[in-house]
Amino acid sequence: MTKSDQPIFPYPPHQVKGYHEFLPLQTQPIGSLLPSDQYPQNENPPKLFEPLTIRGVEFPNRAWVAPMCQYSSSNGQATDHHLVHLGSMAMRGWGSIMIEATAVVPEGRITPEDSGLWEDSQIDSFKRIVDYVHGIKGVIGIQLAHAGRKASTPAPWNLRLAVEGGYDGGNVVGEENGGWPNNVQAPSAISFNEGKYANPVESSLEYIENLKKAFADAVERCKAIGFDYIEIHGAHGYLLHEYVDPLSNTRTDGYGGSFENRIKLPLEITKLVRDKWDKPLFYRLSATDWLEDTLGPEKTENGDYAWWGIEQTTILTQKLADLGVDLIDVSSGGNDIRQKVQVGPSYQLPFAEHIKKNVKNILVGAVGIITDAHQANDIIEQGKADVVLLAREVLRNVDFPLQSALQLGTAVNPAVQYERAWTRMLVKHDPNNVHQTTRSQHGVTEVQGEEGEKKKPNRRGPPPEIHSAVPGV
């Protein structure tokens, strides 16, 4: 064959228009259902892979990445680690990626290496990540946060290494290592763990007003970055959880005392964010302190609340829904070292289910040791929650969405760069030949895709015991 006779492919590569470098164009969102006319197994797909649209943003499925602190930022800015960490997840078909707890003020970080969005110089580092995720047709949001009295601490592995080396001192990072031991803010001057954590200062009314402005400014930066949604962090013993909880909030002004006063700051912040942000807005909260075994019922005999629990959570969630919060992300614990958490598969699901049954006009996200495709799908199929958010399982098994589709017998779109690894899922059937026995593959042979590999089915653990703090579930 002469050079002039070579078989030439006349089409240019499909690429993302306007991206700053070559990026292959995805045929459709990764992790979204493939058309049922080509993949009949998708005619009645599992609910886990049913898309969800919130305020015009379409999430391709219901398996979402929860925010996970990486303690790998540089003065609040996202780094190459975050691009690789989050970009890798976006390539694996998750319905949503959420950037970790991101402080709206410097002293709102958990560690000096936390993510932050308190100044404009931090915008570009996040925009690079968001542009990439959008380039591959993904959905990405951010969790805005303030660590409160749990701030100025070391990264977990730094603490672990020190303890393994014999250290037995406090967990407060000093100024010489980038900490702010004398500016740890809280609703009241009550340490999270006396002798280990900081002795916080009670936030002044002026500080509270400046904090609300900081949230508002962070929202403007989120607009410039292009995030698809915002989540407000009100869980795990951080500042907004501290405000709603009578154990950590003993203020005597308008932000303390009664239940209405304790929830005032979270509602004020939520309203100002909602007023400035027309895209989806989520709120993460801790549904309970897990203190019934230690302190007795959430509500005392005289009608006062002794600690934060599901009854107050339900009331707060309805108020958040009334303000326009679209989804409540239901976690638990983190505000009192006396907590006794009953851990097991789906152990926090009863709280999400309770909210789903008792609060109007809000979507519900479930978390807590969700590690199996059938387990995740059952949660959605049974109406116990609208989405599931995974964290540690993401780090162990980043391909969970695609593997779940395979296990549940449906076909979703893999990244074009990775489709050769998923041919056992991408089996096409000829709709005009009901007697077809030879399967048409998605571009490669069964041997290349290892279709013949046999795997033992995953076995689910026993259902969790329902904690007595959850009524009526």
The active-site residue, picked from 229, 238, 255, 283, is 238
Rama region for 368: left / alpha / beta (φ>0; ψ in -120 to 50; rest): left
CA distance 93 to 373: 14
- Under 8 Å between Cβ of 227 and 209: no
The owner of tokens 């009524």 is 471
- Under 8 Å between Cβ of 230 and 222: yes
Q: How many CA atoms lie within 13 A of 171 on its CB side?
A: 22
E strands, 146-258, in order: 185-186, 201-202, 229-234
Indicate the helix (H) or strand (E) that contains 115.
Answer: strand 115-116
Beta bridge partners of 285: 234, 330
The owner of tokens 């006794």 is 340
Q: How many CA atoms lie within 13 A of 211 on its CB side?
A: 24
> Nearest to residue 76, comparing CAs of 142, 19, 174?
142
CA distance 3 to 11: 19
> Nearest to residue 239, comparing CAs of 355, 110, 69?
110
Question: Strand 52-54 relative to strand 57-59: parallel, antiparallel, unpaired?
Answer: antiparallel
CA distance 212 to 214: 5
Helix (H, G, I), strand (E, B) or coil at 317: helix
Residues written for the chain: 473
CA distance 235 to 450: 43
CA distance 98 to 13: 30
Number of Cβ atoms within 10 Å of the Cβ of 160: 12
Number of Cβ atoms within 10 Å of the Cβ of 458: 13
Residue 462: phi and psi, rounded to 5, are -70, 155
> Nearest to residue 144, comparing CAs of 113, 101, 110?
101
Residues in CB range of 191: below 8 A, 6 or more apart: 149, 197, 198, 199, 200
- Under 8 Å between Cβ of 88 and 400: no
Residue 238 designated active-site: yes
Any long-range contacts for 450-453 (C-beta under 8 Å, 24+ apart)?
Answer: 450/424, 451/423, 451/424, 453/424
Catalytic residues: 238
